[in-house]
Amino acid sequence: MDSSTANACVVSSGPNGLTAAIVLAKAGLRTTVFEAQPTIGGGARSAELTLPGFVHDVCSAVHPWAASSPAFAGFPLAQYGLEWIQPPLPLAHPLDDGSAAIMAMSLDETCARLGADGAAYRRSIAPMVRRWRELVPMIQAPLLRMPVHPWLLARFGALAFWPAAPLARRLFSTEAARALFAGNAAHSVLPLDAFGSAAFAWVLAAAGHAVGWPIPRGGSQAIANALASYFESLGGRIVANSPIRSLDELGDASLVLCDVTPRQFLALAGNRLPDRFCHKLEGYRYGPGVFKIDWALSAPIPWKSAECARAGTVHVGGSLDEIAAYENALAGTAPSERPFVLVAQPSLFDSSRAPSGQHTAWAYCHVPHASTADMTERIESQVERFAPGFRAHVLARHTMTPAELERHNANLVGGDITGGAQDLRQLVLRPTRLLYRTPLDGVYLCSSSTPPGGAVHGMCGFHAAQTALRDLRGKA
């Protein structure tokens, strides 16, 4: 089929859907994006959740993956308003003695601050940092593909394969280095004794040194808006307020790319799918959920360690043992008392986020899948532990349970923010061995339930669209 006469539909305007739509539009297909919600962007949206003038990131806030993304690097997003801000420090991790472990962009500075563990940290991570631009296309792609730099990937795999907690105990002797590693590994949303959990710690740290952990000026909505404007400049069309309930609604599009998770895809296409594929999708596992909280603040968070006020992200949870104990217990039904909390404080570095002199802060912790627990008190106690007097600065708060997150964005099944558990099996066969393809001719999956998985990078959409275009050209 000639792509200049073909048309395509993309279900949803998440970063993966928009990226897929751009790739298709650039290839000459008349492409339409349908978004269920009134506003576009999926997990990259911002809104005044608390008080007028306080702009909060509803889902994603900090973007090492967007800054590393080969897909985004190929789009002129700066021309469409996307501007990155690098906080002075990507990450701080406060400890009970009032100090903080620090990840600076500079590897030298980080190693110097890690003291006795600096050399071990450098030995492991320096090759990944040096060759980050070569490593990223391999780890932001299906893992079954033949790698372009097999030795580099093998070297990374030898460190990444291990469970994070025992690896940190073996490599590092100080509480600071172990805690820093554990906080990064916890982004996996895996137990820290699960094989593969160390991978997340290495890649987030390597990204921090290679490209930083930047935030977009104006909020993560700026990423979605830039992608959408670029797409429209290519002739693409976006229709908001249009939940797609069945593939039949999309007519005879040559290609249909679905930025939805397997459970929703079953609802969209189930009547057309062979039983075997339905069973495979039914067996796809979702992971723990998150409980999200946003604050409007009268002043910056009063961290005991002044270093924390220089960091875009602060990992609040204390030692490796505490973080591991909390994350390991998420398979149960109730979250424990002292959560590991991820905090972002964008207004310290971006004055557009709050009225003058006032601030926003964003936080979440993992909770068991679909948990109904209200974690407000537990999250605020953890922040207060490292920032006494914090609560006195809270002007307003907005919270979201897993069910509320799923109402905001149907892809957040049970509050799972990664589009399905990211254990070794589901990282390789994501969501099935067909990856982006489905048994239906011209119909593809392109959400974070496909490789390389969660985060704002658009690479699921990028690879899915490339696969779809290859198949379309094969029919010509």
Q: Does 100 bind ligand FAD (CB under 6 A)?
A: no
Q: Which is nearer to ligand FAD, 49 or 177 (CB)?
A: 49
Q: Does 103 bind ligand FAD (CB under 6 A)?
A: no
Q: Does 448 bind ligand FAD (CB under 6 A)?
A: yes
* Cis, bond preceding 216 (omega within 30 deg of 0): no
Q: Which is nearer to ligand FAD, 171 or 460 (CB)?
A: 460
Q: Does 34 bind ligand FAD (CB under 6 A)?
A: yes
Q: Does 243 bind ligand FAD (CB under 6 A)?
A: yes
HEC states along the chain?
Answer: CCCCCCEEEEECCCHHHHHHHHHHHHCCCEEEEECCCCCCCCCCCEECCCCCCCCEECCCCCCHHHHHCHHHHCCCHHHHCCCEECCCEEEEEECCCCCEEEECCCHHHHHHHHHHHHHHHHHHHHHHHHCHHHHHHHHCCCCCCCCCCHHHHHHHHHHHCCCHHHHHHHHCCCHHHHHHHHHHHHHHCCCCCCCCHHHHHHHHHHHHHHCCCCEECCCCHHHHHHHHHHHHHCCCEEECCCCCCCHHHHCCCCEEEECCCHHHHHHHHHHHCCHHHHHHHHCCCCCCEEEEEEEEECCCCCCCCHHHHHEEEEEECCCHHHHHHHHHHHHCCCCCCCCCEEEECHHHCCHHHCCCCCEEEEEEEEECCCCCCCCHHHHHHHHHHHCCCHHHHEEEEEEECHHHHHHHCCCCHHHCCCCCCCCHHHHHCCCCCCCCECCCCCEEECCCCCCCCCCCCCHHHHHHHHHHHHHHHHHC
Tokens 């490599």 map to which residue? Answer: 171
Of 6, 11, 255, 348, the one binding ligand FAD by CB under 6 A: 11
Q: Least distance from C-beta 246 to ligand FAD, angstroms?
A: 9
Q: Does 250 bind ligand FAD (CB under 6 A)?
A: no
Q: Least distance from C-beta 274 to ligand FAD, angstroms?
A: 21
Q: Which is nearer to ligand FAD, 110 or 411 (CB)?
A: 411
Stretch that binds ligand FAD, among 32-40, 98-106, 108-116, 316-324 (CB under 6 A): 32-40
Q: Least distance from C-beta 242 to ligand FAD, angstroms?
A: 6
Q: Does 75 bind ligand FAD (CB under 6 A)?
A: no
Q: Are 403 and 370 in contact (CB under 8 A)?
A: yes
Q: Does 13 bind ligand FAD (CB under 6 A)?
A: yes
Q: Does 253 bind ligand FAD (CB under 6 A)?
A: no
Helix axes 197-210, 164-171, angle to 10 degrees: 60
Q: Least distance from C-beta 410 to ligand FAD, angstroms?
A: 4
Q: Which is nearer to ligand FAD, 31 or 411 (CB)?
A: 411
Of 31, 345, 438, 447, the one binding ligand FAD by CB under 6 A: 447
Q: Does 397 bind ligand FAD (CB under 6 A)?
A: no
Of 1, 7, 28, 37, the one binding ligand FAD by CB under 6 A: 37
Of 164, 171, 405, 472, the one binding ligand FAD by CB under 6 A: 405
Of 26, 56, 63, 209, the one binding ligand FAD by CB under 6 A: 63
Q: Does 104 bind ligand FAD (CB under 6 A)?
A: no
Q: Does 365 bind ligand FAD (CB under 6 A)?
A: no
Tell me which residue of 373, 379, 385, 382 sits closest to 415, measured CA to CA.
Answer: 373
Q: Does 410 bind ligand FAD (CB under 6 A)?
A: yes
Which residues within the stretch 260-319 sit at the binding site for ligand FAD (CB under 6 A)? 260, 264, 290, 292
Q: Which is nearer to ligand FAD, 240 or 299 (CB)?
A: 240
Q: What is the DSSP letter of 146?
A: P
Of 10, 21, 44, 211, the one binding ligand FAD by CB under 6 A: 44
Q: Does 56 bind ligand FAD (CB under 6 A)?
A: no
Q: Which is nearer to ligand FAD, 36 or 92 (CB)?
A: 36
Q: Does 140 bind ligand FAD (CB under 6 A)?
A: no
DSSP of 73-107? HTS-GGGGT--EE--SEEEEEE-TTS-EEEE-SSH
Q: Which is nearer to ligand FAD, 171 or 456 (CB)?
A: 456
Q: Does 367 bind ligand FAD (CB under 6 A)?
A: no
Q: Which is nearer to ligand FAD, 163 or 458 (CB)?
A: 458
Binding site for ligand FAD (CB under 6 A): 11-17, 34-37, 42-44, 59-63, 65, 243-244, 259-260, 264, 290, 292, 364, 405, 409-412, 417, 419, 447-448, 454-456, 460
